[in-house]
Amino acid sequence: MFRKQLTCSIAAASLSVAMVLSGSSALADDHYPEKPIEMTITFGAGGSADISGRLAAEAASQVLGQPISVVNRTGGGGAIGFEHVRVQEPDGYNIGWLSASILTTTLLGSLPQQWDDWEYVTNITVEPAAIVVRNDSPWQTMEEFLAAADNTSNRIRIGHAGVGSFTYTAAAALANEAGVEPVFVPVGKRRIPSLLGGEVEAISVHPPEAMSLLRAGEVRFLGVLAPERNAAFPDVPTFAELGYDLGFYQFRGVFVPKGTPQHVKEKLDDAFREASKSEELLSVAEEKGFGVFYIGLDEYTDFVEEQNQLLDEAIEALGIR
């Protein structure tokens, strides 16, 4: 509580200083954006972070009247891209596309920063994390699956992208809450092959990777970590419905270097709010099973702080720090 108050007052103090300092320049720079904006995406071209980010950037650039050029800066579970944005000029021409890994990389120490070393503008999507099994597997429901995972002599293996990734944290926290001990396998990019090839009994993935297999009836989703059920798979219960209310989610949106002027952030927020309503984004979201979930500038920082708190607790409980 004390820490929160302290951060608040520091934030307020620095804000007032910033306002005084930027008073003149803010007026001068009111024509933002006057030149192309560069957006860093911290994951690779063609992946789900990349697709949602590029679609949002494309729609927002039409509102802003300036192109937003997307650059993939990958590696270190997102750390490379977050660090790049952090040290850029906070003038609104260098923005980034974040995911919950901005919190995990800092909480796990691959970046020495804290969550509030960046500023948060707009949230666009909340992507579910799904526990996926093959269609020929014996478990029809999450309860059956977790009960099987309780059997220590014949252990259940769950594949994920890597320790520290969101899909790992989601599945591990679920197992932790349920009091079961499956074996977690960091299969990395080979998530789908390892599931279909029988190396693991289940995988924890974001739906875009598995949607086409789901539609083909090759796999089943047992449950998703998401604030609400998803229209693309309405029969799949959320973790909270199943009794495991973890509260943290994989969210994606726009962030900027610390010290970016308020009016610039407002402009960006306006543009990305429109982007969150763009038809292309919505139809791809529907197709790929990620939820569009707008959170504006006013509430986003609080949201991220709360998420940071919940993830911090989850990571503490998992003992992976």
Partner 1 sequence: MEAIVDGLLTALEPQVFSLTLLGVVLGLVMSAMPGLTTTVAVVLLLPFTFYLDAGPSMGLLMGVFVGGMTGGAMSAILVNIPGNPASVVTNIDGYPMTERGAASEALTLAFLGSFMGGAVGLILLVLIAPQLASIALAFGAPEQFALVVLGLTLVAGFSEGKLLRGFIAAGVGLMIATVGMDPIAGMPRFTFGEVSMQQGISFIPIMIGMFALPLAIEALRSPKGQNLPPLDAPSYHPIKNLIAAVKMLPKTAICGVRSAVIGTGIGAVPGTGSAIAAVVAYECAKRFPCIRNVSFGKGNPEGIVAPEAANSAMMGGALIPMLILGIPGDPVTAVMLGALTIVGVNPGPLMLSQHPDVVYGLFGSFAIALGFLLILAIVGIPLFVKAVRIPVRILMPTIVLLCLIGSFALRNTMLDVFAMTAAGVLAYFMKRWGYPILPMLLALILGPLLETQFRMSLIISFGDPMVFITSPISAVLLLLALVFVAVMVWAEIRRPKATLMVADS
Contact call for residue 162 and partner 1 (CB under 8 A): yes
Contact call for residue 312 and partner 1 (CB under 8 A): no
Classify the C-alpha dihedral 19-24-25-31 as positive or negative.
positive
Q: Tell me the C-alpha distance between 127 and 293, whole Å.
A: 9
What's the count of helices (H) and strands (E) in the chain, helices before strands?
11, 11
At a CB cut-off of 8 Å and minimum separation 6, what does 257 contact?
Answer: 85, 86, 87, 88, 89, 90, 94, 118, 119
Contact call for residue 76 and partner 1 (CB under 8 A): yes
**Cβ at position 83, least distance to partner 1 in Å:** 5
**Cβ at position 175, least distance to partner 1 in Å:** 16
Contact call for residue 50 and partner 1 (CB under 8 A): yes
Closest residue by Cα to residue 309 from 124, 118, 100: 100
Closest residue by Cα to residue 182 from 216, 147, 208, 209: 147
- Check: CB of residue 208 under 8 Å from CB of residue 288: yes
Contact call for residue 211 and partner 1 (CB under 8 A): yes
Site size with partner 1, rule: CB under 8 A: 60
Of 36 and 243, CB closest to partner 1: 36
Contact call for residue 51 and partner 1 (CB under 8 A): yes
Residue showing tokens 């949201």: 303
Contact call for residue 285 and partner 1 (CB under 8 A): no
**Cβ at position 96, least distance to partner 1 in Å:** 13
**Cβ at position 318, least distance to partner 1 in Å:** 12
Q: Tell me the C-alpha distance between 264 and 287, whole Å.
A: 33
Contact call for residue 318 and partner 1 (CB under 8 A): no
The 238-277 site mask, x for binding partner 1 (CB under 8 A), equals ----------------------------------------
Number of Cβ within a 10 Å radius of residue 68: 25
The 80-119 site mask, x for binding partner 1 (CB under 8 A), equals x--x------------------------x-xx--------
Q: Tell me the C-alpha distance between 213 and 296, whole Å.
A: 34
Interface with partner 1 (CB under 8 A): 44-47, 50-51, 54-55, 58, 69-77, 79-80, 83, 108, 110-111, 155, 157, 162-165, 168, 183, 185-190, 192-194, 196-200, 208-209, 211-213, 215-216, 218, 280, 283-284, 287-288, 320
